Structure 1
Amino acid sequence: MTTARTVLEPAARRLAEAGVASPRHDAEALLAHLLGVPRSRLAWASVDLSPDQERRYAELVARRADREPLQHLTGTAPFRHLELLVGPGVFVPRPETEVVVDWAIGALAGLADAPVVVDLCTGSGAIAGSIAGEVPRTRVYAVELDPDAHAWAERNLAGTDVTLVRGDAATAFPDLDGTVDLVVANPPYIPLDAYESVEREVRDHDPALALWSGPDGLDAIRMVERTAARLLRPGGVAVVEHADVQGESAPAVFAGTGRWDRVRDHLDLAGRHRFVTAWRVAR
């Protein structure tokens, strides 16, 4: 009988040789997923694998070594208090985005009852679902253009009070114009010429619509700025994620229009530029 311990070490070595960033973690996560046991509670030395489990584990490790995202193999991605369903066709939410939600929730804490929030480019529904779950009094609206990503968002937001629509973020929710308290977005922001610098898990598996955003990576952020200006009430706030190299250029999109006050950039937990906030001035 093959034990978990005997398959873990060679699996981790294979993933390391393939360039996977966290080989031991991923080897353990795949085995825990296969056995249906939380990784943190799995007693590796005492678990025996059947021949079928050993074969299936080898297949999972081979797919991960080929740089298929870990989350596609397990079918889930943790995000704050959520366990999101993910797979081909939807952008896998990253931990960096959690600080964006932190800031948004903090801003909502100072508002009156039933503030209105719009999540543009919702993807998996991670941001919308987190805000709706952690600030129950909030009315949350979310929009996604891509049909496959929208289908994943439908699954993840089922049973919540989020109003989800499929459509273009640029023209979404015209009935809310001038009434929204907070607009949040994690839009695409990778320049078209940066293809070779993007890790394979992202460029080969995340949907193109969620990644690429014109020659300078700012096309979608410009769209979000215009849409947020339309939706927000005077004094409402926009919270927009961007690439770590856009700590000056993303805030400049807002500062250069005359529609915003208190434009600020913010760092993530690793000290990298991560998102911009801006407050809507009176029309």
Structure 2
Amino acid sequence: MTDDRSLARAVASLRGLAVGDAVGACYFIPLNQPLLTDRRLPPDPWFWTDDTEMACSVLAVLRDHGRADQNALARSFAAHHDFDRGYGAGVNRMLRLIRQEGADWREQAEGMFDGKGSWGNGAAMRVAPLGAWYGSADLDRVVAEATASAEVTHTHPEGVAGAVAVAVAAALATDTSSSGLSGHDFLDEIAERTPPGMVRDGIGNAMTLLPLTDPRSAAASLGNGRYISAPDTVPFCLWIAAKHLDDFETAFWDTACVGGDIDTTCAIVGGIVASRVGVAGIPAVWLKRCEALPEWVGVE
């Protein structure tokens, strides 16, 4: 039976993720990308990318199975795979083989990059609704479920670590009590739950950079997703979330202004911050101008 509170939190996170993704995608120019110099919204409509499409599967599987059932996730990812949404080449091939030829998702995921597995940011970009679903009460469960969700496409330890870190961040963000974590404590708790490696080291670096006010300065050290890896993407997103956990609009602009993989960084940040501020905390006009979520996800 679906817990209505879990579903409401996950839906809010998904909507924040989709808005961040869709608006961020308007600014994403892979080569010779200009930095944003003002905060004017782009013309609408705003169309979301693979980040949102895969996050919709995460929410749908949680709703239908009560956990990150890996087989169900693989089926959903493959069934709803839209080539034109901006998937990476490796995932495009993997999902096509699963859908058209019945390929084993385990073999496909483990075989990526000469058997090393992907350490890209794809598992992290879609996972915030999972963290919001479980909330802050059982972070061990969040870590286990985020790991399971990542392994369907990303088996490299850093790819998994990125998903774990973002899921824990979204889970912690759901604690809106006066004793809820923020700033340094927020990042410290995430780092404590993140497996050792480059992602966790990056979160440690993000803690030391919290006194900075210029996101460009933080991104110069933490990365901005330009290399499409979890270590180059997740620590900066968490730095932004730690600074602006109660302010969706400021969090978005401070993420977007540094360039890089803007749709993905803004999707991650949007999913985390919306886990805290809810749908009401996302600017209403942004929600209206964003492409609607797909009917199959069952979110009104």
Q: Please indicate, yes or no, whether the TM-score normalized by the shorter chain is above 0.5.
A: no
- Higher RCO structure, 1 or 2 (CA under 8 Å, sep 6+): 2
Structure with more helix by fraction: 2
Structure with more strand by fraction: 1
